[in-house]
Amino acid sequence: MLKRLVPTILLFIAGTTAAGENYHWRNITVGAGGFAPNIVFSRAEENLAYLRTDMGGAYRWEQSRQRWMPLQDGMAESSYFGIESIAADPGDADVVHMAAGMYKHYPAAMLRSFDRGRSWKVIRVPFAMGGNEDGRGLGERLAINPDNTDQLLFGSRFDGLWQSLDRGASWRKLDSFPHAGLGQPQERWSSRGGISFVLFTHGNIFAGVADRPAAGIYRSGDGGASWKRIAGGPQALLPVQAAAAGDRLYITYSDDIGPNGIHGGAVYKLDTDSGQWSDITPPPKGAEGGFMGLSASGQNPDVVAVATVDRWQPRDNIFVSRDGGESWRELASRSERDVSATPYLYWGNDEPDFGWWIAGLAFDPFDDHTLVYTTGATVYRTEKLAARKLPWRPWVAGIEQTAVITLTSLPQGPELLSGFGDISGFVHEDFDRSPRTMLTTPVFANTNNIDYAGAAPEIVVRSGTPPHRAEGPVPTLAWSADSGRHWQPLTVPPVSVNGKSRRYDLSGDDAITVSADGDTFVFMAPRPQRSVDRGRHWQAVKNLPVGLRPVADRVDGERFYALDFARGKIYASDDAARTFEPLNTQGLPAGMKAPKNREQAWPLLATPGRSGELWLVSDKGLFRSTDGGRNFRQLQSDIAVEEMAFGKAAPGRDHPALFAIGTRDGLRAIWRSDDADGNWQRINGADSEYGRRYRTLAGDPRHFGRVYVGTDGRGIVMGEPSQPSTASRQDKRTAAAGGSTQ
């Protein structure tokens, strides 16, 4: 019996604009940076490929431009940037289908395009997906019948097997499939493997199930009307990926769905005519981790490549066989990697890593000397697989798939400093090249906070979380005397709070700030600590209630402010944070919520170039003080501001322009105000939605109208007016001459 789904079809056409048509948006180049679960080559046309990412959408390789093109920047739905699966039509190079849905509790849809992803038709579906959940390296779950491209099958995580007979316009559940799905787990972050892959080959359909106890390989010889589980194969493992080649099926197995938590695995070959199984696991058997990435040659069915996963010791590897798995050649020790185009891949080490989480592995179907693999940070490609020494280079031009936590634009020196999730952060001095300078000594996993001295911007401080798999306590604080190009670690002795002493500088939960003159560092332990000798000695800040976080005035090096959110009161210091005194603050409501997430931008802001001017972004509104926090006025803003930043003043005005992430009438967007009075205009349009996955922002103090926006999945995007003003053109001439435009 078939359950019919009546489709909801929405049409998205890239390139249309409504608001923000006077702004130009582009990426700041880093180069990949996140986990790409798989790459899918077209079999209908050479040099055509698609890349799916777990939270940054999909890309198409554009051979004529020699770059990857993002395919979803005009989409407003955040969830559709978690790509569950991609299927390129095997007969029509213009047709591509995607399954999109970030998490099981988010919207899910089937997307289909007849122009290579330039525009999409969106069909909402009632079953859940998990493009950024555990198991996102499985697949491909979405498959097109090469003999009848009207027929598509999709193996879902939670709700069995689904079919479309009208080229993806509508979908029905196939109740004939033996595994109906286990449903969504109750735990918020728990996931399931479900149907891990679907393959059409030589009149048969194969589907893998990665749910216990139904795990195994299923076959249909009648177009999906009936199914039978194939006997044999490893009983204790889950099939995670498969590749068809001639009369055989290659399958990688693991004991979990990954990408983490896998301890064992195997590789098997199934003769689809005889039903005979062969264990072809590369040696040494029983090694740490499992297997995931898998690809077979389009020219020779004996040529197959497999990748390990979670083999942390000694490291993950790729194996290639040219005799159907009878013997294997491992690639890591025979490889050299040229990462000059994306130097962050050194991570401060002498050599770049071969890679981890290798879920995506693909031969070019037209050339089996070309092999590509994806990792947790990049995409590598070689065109000389037969070489004695394999040359790999990142294949990432155009891909920006990172989660950006914090951004700071300096009034002099490098124009932008960034803090990322998983890849520390960067000094950006050439927006068209991957940064030469990563934030190192120490390297953080996540950089959560960057601050600079308002009157001495070469002094910069930052805080972050320890590197993944760090051995022992490591610094989570650092400072720089040259605008972030070089760093020195900071450590803080134990702090006593409520009679208990502990090191608060080890977790990365607490930020650091610096006075306007650069002389005083303040560390935000529950009882803040100050240092006036670059971290050699620390003293407790006096007269400040536990839990309050100081903010430095941007002009006066002696002045600091701290907000008591619960009482709506400001504490101020005029002695470089030695002592604080409560002010008789007027105009702020009580009962405001203080941020709890260490990655959240602090909502009390000091205005650059204006001593005593403070702004507060709160759940109760937007407030401004011009007298050092004694009196605040609520702005009657027509947007609900989530985060705000300052930029260069508009021509003819003396107050910095304001930029905001905010919502008006349900529309979450990027806004600018030139009058400091809450009159906002939207500056991003229908071609620059980025899933509305805006995470942080920074205005540029040197170029009017320029703003940097950190997204959750599409890296850093920069917006600036399409028609530069006379002032902006003068900015560029001055900057080109090496001067400051502030």
The 8-class DSSP code of residue 586 comes to B
Percent of the chain at pLDDT exceeding 70: 94
Please determine, for residue 738, whether its predicted confidence score (pLDDT) is greater than 90: no
Q: Which of 76, 78, 72, 74 is nearest to 98 (CA)?
A: 72
- Convert 380-417 into a string of H (helix), E (strand) and C (coil): EEECCCCCCCEEEEECCCCCECCEEEEEECCCCCCCEE
78, 692 contact by CB (below 8 A) = yes
| Position 8 confidence tier, pLDDT thresholds 50, 70, 90 | very low
Please determine, for residue 368, whether its predicted confidence score (pLDDT) is greater than 70: yes
| Position 188 confidence tier, pLDDT thresholds 50, 70, 90 | confident
148, 224 contact by CB (below 8 A) = no
**CA dist., res. 50 & res. 535, Å (int):** 49
Pairing of strands 477-480, 488-490: antiparallel
**CA dist., res. 689 & res. 685, Å (int):** 7
83, 72 contact by CB (below 8 A) = no
Which of 364, 422, 556, 564 is an active site residue? 422
**Structure-derived torsion over alpha carbons of residues 363, 71, 643, 480, reported in degrees to the nearest 10:** 40
What pLDDT score was predicted for residue 9?
34
Q: Which of 55, 37, 50 is nearest to 404 (CA)?
A: 55
* CB crowding 206-232: b at 16 or more within 10 Å, else e: bbbbbbeebbbbbbbeebbeebeeeee
| pLDDT tens-digit readout, 612-656 | 999 999 999 999 999 999 999 999 988 999 999 999 999 999 999
Which of 54, 159, 510, 700 is an active site residue? 54
**CA dist., res. 240 & res. 218, Å (int):** 13
Cis amide leading into 442 (omega within 30): yes
| pLDDT tens-digit readout, 575-620 | 999 999 999 999 999 999 999 999 999 999 999 999 999 999 999 9
Mean pLDDT, rounded, for 550-560: 98
Residue showing tokens 């695995």: 265
Sequence-ordered strand ranges (E) for 152-284: 152-155, 161-164, 171-174, 195-201, 204-209, 216-220, 228-229, 238-245, 248-254, 265-271, 277-279
Q: Which of 354, 252, 385 is nearest to 306 (CA)?
A: 252
Q: Name the strand (E) or helix (H) holding 687.
A: none
**Structure-derived torsion over alpha carbons of residues 435, 83, 106, 149, reported in degrees to the nearest 10:** 160
**CA dist., res. 91 & res. 22, Å (int):** 40
Is 594 exposed, middle or buried (CB count within 10 Å of its CB: 0-12, 13-18, 19+)? middle
678, 638 contact by CB (below 8 A) = yes
Please determine, for residue 518, whether its predicted confidence score (pLDDT) is greater than 90: yes
232, 160 contact by CB (below 8 A) = no
Residue 712 catalytic? no
| Position 19 confidence tier, pLDDT thresholds 50, 70, 90 | low
| Position 501 confidence tier, pLDDT thresholds 50, 70, 90 | very high
The 8-class DSSP code of residue 652 comes to T
The CATH number assigned to the domain with range 236-399 reads 2.130.10.10
Mean pLDDT, rounded, for 213-228: 97
Is 46 exposed, middle or buried (CB count within 10 Å of its CB: 0-12, 13-18, 19+)? middle
What pLDDT score was predicted for residue 493?
97
Residue 144 CB-half CA count within 13 A: 26
Structure tokens at 323: 């005799």
Percent of the chain at pLDDT exceeding 90: 90
Please determine, for residue 731, whether its predicted confidence score (pLDDT) is greater than 70: no
| Position 724 confidence tier, pLDDT thresholds 50, 70, 90 | low
- What is the pLDDT of the chain when averaged over all its residues? 93
Helices (H), 492-547: none
530, 577 contact by CB (below 8 A) = yes
| pLDDT tens-digit readout, 660-713 | 999 999 999 999 999 998 899 999 999 999 999 999 999 999 999 999 999 999
Residue 422 catalytic? yes
Q: How far is CA 636 from CA 77, 492, 624, in A?
A: 29, 42, 11
Domain ranges (residues) in the chain: 236-399
| pLDDT tens-digit readout, 374-425 | 999 999 999 999 999 999 999 999 999 999 999 999 999 999 999 999 999 9
Structure tokens at 695: 């995470």
- 0.85 exceeded by the pTM? yes
Helices (H), 154-286: none
What pLDDT score was predicted for residue 20?
64
184, 104 contact by CB (below 8 A) = yes
374, 464 contact by CB (below 8 A) = no
Please determine, for residue 239, whether its predicted confidence score (pLDDT) is greater than 70: yes
Please determine, for residue 73, whether its predicted confidence score (pLDDT) is greater than 50: yes
Residue 332 CB-half CA count within 13 A: 16
